[in-house]
Amino acid sequence: MAGLAVNVDHVATVREARKIDIPDPVTAGAIVELAGADGVVVHLREDRRHIHDRDVRLLRETIKTKLILEMAATSEMIGIAIEIKPDLVTLVPEKHEELTTEGGLDLRLHEDMVSDAVQALQEGGIPVSIFVDPDPDQIKLAHRINADCVEIHTGIFCEAKTPKERSETFERIANSAKLAHKLKLGINAGHGLGYQSIKAFKGLSEIDEFSIGHSIIARAVLVGLDRAVRDMIALIKEL
Ligand code: PXP
């Protein structure tokens, strides 16, 4: 069975709507873990628009499963990661104007910069995943620069408007996962996944772990975080 890592950024988004100290993503991390998730994910953005440095530090102290830090491959973030030591860093592209991460890291454009970041983080004792589009060239480049893992971007599939687009984008994800498996990379998948779209992944056993945030936190607002996490785990169990 694939694992589930839950991104709690949007708990911090609600906190930042009032610039006070509730709800606390650190408390959310504990609830997510008690509900059976395999890990907690946070994205420390350069503008600190939701998650703050303090959140990452406290999650590091309290999370018993796995803390996954999403971040840009900048020297500031590499320094923070090496100090805090998450269990995995996922390198993502970051633009100030975006609402959320818009695409995978383009290793054709940024191979040297990302390769240096991978090396620095690994020397600091942290395994590294790279968030990439479902494209065989990107998977091969991730392997070439010695990443431990790839996270395959599922957004294009989740946003597909027609059955044809859905099947084409899913095939790209499946082929990328199979190639990454052959290259012995760890394989995560995420972005845009929800309680319906996750069902399409039935039988794609190459995926080690799903990384899901918005849909779980959105459901949690209505039914509670514990149940929202358990509902998703139940669906992943069926895949
Ligand atoms: N994976 C990566 C690399 C992301 O940047 C995000 C969004 O923070 C997610 C997964 C989770 O996406 P969503 O919130 O749409 O489930």
135-161, pLDDT tens digit by residue? 999 999 999 999 999 999 999 999 999
| 119 part of a folded domain | yes
Centre of ligand 1 to C-alpha 183, Å, is 24
Residue 145 counted as domain residue: yes
Q: Is 131 in the pocket of ligand 1 (CB under 6 A)?
A: yes
Residue 108 lies in a domain: yes
CA distances from 5 to 36, 41, 76, 85, 119 (A): 10, 6, 25, 17, 24
The predicted structure's pLDDT at residue 126: 98
Looking at the structure of the chain, the number of domains it has is 1
Which of 36, 47, 54 has its CA nearest to residue 74?
47
Q: Hey, whose CA ends up nearest to atom 5 of ligand 1?
A: 101
206 included as an active-site residue: no
- Report the pLDDT value the prediction gives residue 97, as an integer from 0 to 100: 74
In a domain, 89, yes or no: yes
Does residue 43 have an active-site annotation? yes
Identified catalytic residue from 33, 70, 151, 209: 70
SS3 label, residue 210: strand
Whether 219 is in a domain gets the answer: yes
> Residue with structure tokens 């018993």?
64
Q: What 3-state DSSP class applies to 93?
A: coil
Nearest atom (ligand 1) to Cα of 131: 3
Site to substitute for ligand 1 among 44, 68, 100, most atoms within 8 A of C-beta: 100
Contact 48, 56 (CB under 8 A): no
Active site annotation includes 191: yes
Listed in sequence order, the residues at least 6 apart from 236 whose beta carbon sits closer than 8 Å to its beta carbon are: 1, 2, 3, 4, 198, 210
- Say which CATH number the domain at 104 has: 3.20.20.70
- Flag whether 9 is in a domain: no
* DSSP, res 200: G
Asked if 107 and 132 touch (Cβ cutoff 8 Å), the reply is yes
Best mutation site among 152, 191, 236 for ligand 1 pocket (most ligand atoms within 8 Å of CB): 191
- Residue 188 CB less than 6 A away from ligand 1: no
12 in any annotated domain: no
CB of 70 closer than 6 A to ligand 1? yes
- Going by DSSP bridges, is the β-strand pair 186-190/67-71 parallel, antiparallel, or unpaired? unpaired
Total-model pTM: 0.97
**pLDDT recorded at residue 98:** 73
Residue 159 Cβ inside 6 Å of ligand 1? The answer reads: no
Q: What is the pLDDT of residue 94?
A: 85
State which residues form the domain around 138: 71-237
As a whole number of angstroms, the distance between CA 141 and CA 209 comes to: 21
Alpha carbons 122 and 230: distance in angstroms, whole number: 33
Contact 130, 151 (CB under 8 A): yes
Q: What is the DSSP letter of 50?
A: S
Low-confidence ranges of the chain (pLDDT < 50): none
- pLDDT by residue (tens digit) across 94-138? 877 777 777 899 999 999 999 999 999 999 999 999 999 999 999
**71 Cβ contact list (under 8 Å, min separation 6):** 43, 44, 77, 80, 81, 89, 90, 91, 92
